[in-house]
Chains A and B, each alone.
Chain A
Amino acid sequence: MRTLRKGAPLLALMTAMTMALPVSAQDAGKISEDPLELTIHFHFRDKYVYSEKWPVEQKAAEITNIHVRNVASLATTSSRDAFNLLIASGDLPDIVGGDANGGLKEDFIRYGLEGAFIPLDDLIEENAPNLKAFFDSHKDIRNAISGPDGKLYFIPYVPDGKYSRGWFIRQDWLDKLGLKQPETPEEVYEVLKAFRDKDPNGNGKKDEVPYFAREEIDAVRLINLWDARVSGSERYGDFAVYDGQLRHPWAEENYKTGISNVAKWYKEGLIDKEIFTRGARSREYLLGNNLGGMTHDWFASTSTYNDALSPKIEGFALKPMLPPKTASGQRFEDSRRLRVQPVGWAISATNEHPVETIKYFDFWFSQQGRLLSNFGVEGKTYEMVDGKPQFKKEVLENKDPVNAQLWAVGAQVPRGYWMDYEYERQWTNKIALEGIDLYDKCNCLKDEFMGVSLNADEKATFDRYWPSLLTYMTEMQQTWVLGAQDVDTGWDAYKKRLTALGYDEVIKIMQSAYDRQYKAAQ
């Protein structure tokens, strides 16, 4: 704060100067007359650190005259450990950023409140036109990442694009059996039964696995057919927003109907018997061996199986399909891409150049900065065609995936930046794009629960009750699906147990935090 006050007159002067200059606020230009070095601790994806040698960073330094020097050690193979060790050492560099297992949002806010990082609101207001414009037009994102005191402690990585996962079905199996894409729960039931009984893979054995899923979040996704939700966000078992009221989807009445039907289908062999144990490779195994019929998974990666498997399996066609209508006649897609990632970067309290630093952060949200952080360096990875960035042919046709090539030059790394979906669209499989288009027309996404920041009292309540509640609910979910207990007889006891474990208390504090964070600001 001391540095801030000292810099205030200078700051006013600078603002005046920028206003006087005919240069648009979009392109920041030089931030400091003399080269200024800022230290940064930035460890990400468990194996990378920020590098001043990245072509993208060199370009940024050339434009801004800010040179960031990484102090994070490559010797650590866990970004979480690297971050925790840094915090425990108490000796923070000018900028702290990166990602870590579980995200860094809560860490930035928690240690920000304890005095490790400075609040950024005033700095943004006075020095960062691009960030200000961004947050002004994305109020929900600002709300989602503020602390319980309503202040911002970090600049996040903001993903673009709405869709993450969708429904996929073996279109060639449907055609072979003379069926059409299922539109209602009853039709889904008939289709899955046909997959089970009518030997669509034609090997004479009853070895088809009608519905399968790779991740636990998709294992019970079929409850959607009875209007129940698996999660309010991309995080498994998250709270959901129902008309401004925060509740947990697994305590709703429609969840009872959903899970008891899923249990019935599981018992009848319509859902993979090993759905909870097969794990991450199930998609590869079940599709590769011509066994799996229907799933719910990521658009981009699931579509690529069409290319990979069509030479091996004749007629292989795994097509995206719209979510079937629910029992109540609606159509909705449960999952969606996170609107803001809980990662990014923050300014330490010991930083002597907070103004320059926020301007540097701001640079990445400018037109120039967004191009750099999304597409790399012009002429090297992309070219401007009709005023739009277009990846070069050799990038698109390289044997390494486009994102890996971009990471290598310092683009698409989890600094505080704003992703441009165009970057991903240019190398996304055609079938995935068709699917995304389909979903876009349907416009059937639900509101995302973007998380809340709890104050100390709320956090104490949350920590006391929530881990046990989540454990119990997950446990019962699997117990029911596997048929160890009947949902109809167990439901009342389940609800009672939730109350005993403190469900109402948790909802109360979550709701008050939610209201504070999202409603007051509107």
Chain B
Amino acid sequence: MKQTYQQRLHDLWGDVRRDWQLYLLLAPMAIWFALFLYKPMYGLVIAFQDFSIFRGIEKSPWVGFANFVELFQNDMFVRAFWNTITISGLGLIFAFPVPIILALMFNEVQNEVGRRWAQTIVYLPHFISVVIVAGIVINFLSPSIGIVNLFLKGIGLEPIYFLTQPEWFRPVFIGSSVWKESGFESIVYLAAIAGVSPTLYESARVDGASRWQMMWRITLPCILPTIVIMLIIRIGNLVEVGFEYIILLYRPSTYESADVVSTFIYRTGLQGTQYDLATAAGLFNAVIAFVLVYSANRISRRVSSTSLW
């Protein structure tokens, strides 16, 4: 065992000497990772402490898993955790396919000018700040002056006060996220489609394949690896719902379906300066995310022989 270890080290050193230019190129990224991602991990130990910023990590007393026990005894945290999973899960089902469909549709548009226009229009919302998007959503859904409710009133329905009803929170949240991000996310798939060899289409055309058949039999299978990688990344983010947009949209009356782990951390941890509890919640999230990514990757490697690593 030791032999191989030394042998490996020796080999690595040989590699470095031979390809030092390549390693030099790698260095900034490696240093960045070490400095900004690995070093701060040391701070995670405060999840196991009764932490005070004045005492610091060295002098704060250790409390073992007490912070985690406190978390799981808190039904608001448990509810926030399930809300996170539900919102991300629904997002996965409804929002994940949209950029793929968009990319396939763009690919079929023949008119160059029309296509450019359409693309620009769907990319645009990505560049709008979430604060503004939330403002637009609130205005659109306002029960008195919102265009959606004016329309509902116009066709003789009762106006709905969307943003205060828990059952409407998820559709509104996911729907507006799709509007904001799916256009931009489709770029990845468009790039993948551009990489498909034209000879495949040419031979299919010679064989008399329709465009529909070409899409199903050539385009989709060829971009499948990209789709799988994106899916794995997405699954890794399943327990992660960005809190800025939620905080801008939720109200106490919609906490029931809108309160997620990150907003829970924000409210109880940061506003209440319980950094230790907030860190424990964050660490728990990270562990779940790791398990999810790892299993998604394994399953994918087995089923489709594509994987992240």
Contact = CB atoms under 8 A, between A and B. Distances in A.
Our verdict on whether A and B bind, yes or no, reads yes
Interface of A: 84, 87-88, 90, 102, 110-111, 114-116, 273-274, 276-277, 463-464, 467-468, 471-472, 474-475, 477-479, 482, 484, 501
Interface string B60-76: 00000000001001111
B253 A276 contact: yes
B305 interface: no
A475 B252 contact: yes
Given A468-B76, A471-B252, A84 B53 contact: yes
B53 A88 contact: yes
Contact of B56 (A88, A274, A468, A484): A88
Nearest to B249: A277
B74 A471 contact: no
A102 B271 contact: yes
B197 interface: no
B24 to A, nearest CB: 34
A173 B192 CA distance: 66
A274 B54 contact: no
B267 interface: yes
A397 B60 CA distance: 55
Given A88-B53, A90-B56, A277 B252 contact: no
Among A115, A277, A484, A501, max chain B CB count under 10 A is at A277
Interface in B128-172: 138, 142-144, 161, 163-166
Contacts of A482: 161, 164-165, 253
Contacts of B73: 464
Contacts of A90: 54, 56
A87 B53 contact: yes
8 contacts: A88-B54, A114-B52, A274-B142, A464-B73, A464-B74, A471-B259, A475-B253, A479-B253
Given A464-B70, A471-B267, A477 B144 contact: no
Does more than half of chain A's interface fall in helix, strand or loop, or is it mixed? helix
Closest 3 CB pairs of A and B: A478-B253, A474-B252, A468-B76
B181 interface: no
A474 B142 CA distance: 22
Among A110, A273, A467, A484, max chain B CB count under 10 A is at A467
A467 B70 contact: no
Interface of B: 52-56, 70, 73-76, 138, 142-144, 161, 163-166, 251-253, 255-256, 259, 267-268, 271-274, 277
A239 B75 CA distance: 23
A273 B73 CA distance: 37
Nearest to A477: B252
Contacts of A274: 142-144, 161
A450 B194 CA distance: 67
Contacts of B253: 276, 475, 478-479, 482, 484
Among B143, B253, B267, max chain A CB count under 10 A is at B253
A273 B144 contact: yes
B108 to A, nearest CB: 41
Contacts of B274: 463
A248 B271 CA distance: 21
B142 A468 contact: no
B73 to A, nearest CB: 8
A110 B52 contact: yes
A146 B53 CA distance: 21
A111 B54 contact: yes
Nearest to B256: A475
A478 B164 contact: yes
Given A276-B251, A467-B268, A114 B54 contact: yes
A277 B161 CA distance: 10
A463 B255 contact: no
Given A273-B144, A276-B164, A277-B138, A114 B76 contact: no
Contact of B251 (A87, A277, A464): A277
A271 B166 CA distance: 21
A117 to B, nearest CB: 10
Contact of B54 (A116, A472, A479): A116
Contacts of A277: 138, 142, 163-164, 251
Contact of A273 (B52, B54, B75, B161): B161
Contacts of B76: 467-468, 471-472
Contacts of A84: 53
A111 B143 CA distance: 48
B70 A478 contact: no
A471 B142 contact: no
A84 B53 CA distance: 7
A463 B272 contact: yes
A478 B53 contact: no
Nearest to B141: A277
B80 to A, nearest CB: 10
Contact of B74 (A111, A116, A468): A468
A482 B168 CA distance: 14
Contacts of B75: 468, 501
Contacts of B252: 276, 471, 474-475, 477-478
A474 B254 CA distance: 10
A484 B169 CA distance: 14
Contacts of A471: 76, 252, 255, 259, 267
A19 to B, nearest CB: 39
Nearest to A279: B138
Nearest to B165: A484
Among B54, B144, B251, B273, max chain A CB count under 10 A is at B54
Contacts of A468: 74-76
Contacts of A467: 74, 76, 267-268, 272
Nearest to B167: A484
Contacts of B74: 464, 467-468
Contacts of A88: 53-54, 56
Nearest to B163: A277
Contacts of A474: 252, 255
Nearest to B145: A274
A272 to B, nearest CB: 9
Contacts of B55: 114
B228 to A, nearest CB: 39
A453 to B, nearest CB: 15
